[in-house]
Amino acid sequence: ADITPRMGKLNVKNPNNKGIAWGGMYWQYFEQLDKITSAETDLKMNKQLFLRTLTKKGEELQPINEANKLKVGDLVRVRMELRADRDYEYVHLKDMRASGFEPVSTRSGHRYQDGLWYYESIKDASTNFFITYLRKGTYVFEYDLRVSHAGDFSNGITTFQCMYAPEFSSHSEGIRVTVTGSE
């Protein structure tokens, strides 16, 4: 059966009206990663993939689409834009990666960018960012991948979640990529 937004409607009552009630409701189900749409929350996540080429004029980034097909050996720039509506503490940003991609940089470590300190942890199927304190504002995280295999891949989603308050979370839409053999 298809899941519809109407199924997510919930009515909670406090029959005795004694005190304040606090709770959380989580709705989980399985879906193919490339069919997931961006979460509609106060936290905005946007993930884009770009074909990175070096020209005489310098670096060029072209959005990956039907016109810009990937082939084995290409460089891909991952760009994640995060818009935080308030200050957050102890944040985990997890970016999934297609099995046909390998990270260019394989060293995890502390990083500093635009006034933000974070720890970047590079794993087999994802790149993780751990942020102790995230101020309200817009942040852009980027890193490079190399295309290692041909095929049709789900590149997954990027998720944002406060580690000690998981109700503060968001995710990007899923992305599908097709890679042809090298020329």
**Which run of H or E residues covers position 162?**
strand 158-162
Q: Which residues, at least 6 apart from 10, have a Cβ–Cβ distance to it below 8 Å? A: 25
Res 30: pLDDT: 65
pLDDT 10s digits, 53-96? 988 999 999 999 877 789 999 999 999 999 999 999 999 999 99
Class of domain 37-180: mainly beta
Determine the Cα–Cα distance for residues 103 and 63; give it in Å rounded to an integer: 18
Q: What is the pTM of this model?
A: 0.80
Q: What is the pLDDT at residue 25?
A: 73
Q: How far apart are CA 79 and CA 46, in angstroms?
A: 8
Q: Is the pLDDT of residue 1 over 60?
A: no
Q: Which residue has the higher pLDDT, 69 or 138?
A: 138
Q: Are 64 and 51 a contacting pair, CB within 8 Å? A: yes
Report DSSP state, residue 171: E
pLDDT grade for 22, boundaries at 50, 70 and 90: confident
Structure tokens given for 183: 């020329």
